[in-house]
Amino acid sequence: MLTGPKVYLYNLAKEGFKMNALEDTANVGEFIHSDKFLLIDKIGVIRGIYNGTEQKDVDRLITEIKILKKEYE
């Protein structure tokens, strides 16, 4: 999960990761975003893209997080 100023996060999502991120004008403080999860390593390389609404993709993400963590041990 990302935190920080909205302008920075929206720009990072759109320009850096080519993902949707828009302010939700119907719900103050909320935003509209993609259903995709990205696994990004410490140097900013996208290591995987996963559909957050598909259990098999979420399971694969969890496995690949564990693999990535082992790379840094």
User: pLDDT by residue (tens digit) across 1-59?
Assistant: 567 777 777 777 777 777 766 676 777 766 666 788 889 999 989 999 999 899 999 99
Determine the pLDDT at residue 30.
Answer: 66
Determine the pLDDT at residue 12.
Answer: 75
Q: How many domains does the chain have?
A: 2
**Does one domain contain both 40 and 62?**
yes
Determine the pLDDT at residue 8.
Answer: 77
The total number of residues shown for the chain amounts to 73
Structure tokens at 61: 């993400």
- Domain membership of residue 58 as a residue range: 35-73
Determine the pLDDT at residue 43.
Answer: 92
Determine the pLDDT at residue 20.
Answer: 66
**Does one domain contain both 46 and 13?**
no
Say which amino acid occupies 13. A
d(CA 12, CA 49): 16
Report yes or no: 13 and 5 within 8 Å, Cβ to Cβ.
no
**Does one domain contain both 25 and 39?**
no
Determine the pLDDT at residue 48.
Answer: 94
**Does one domain contain both 46 and 12?**
no
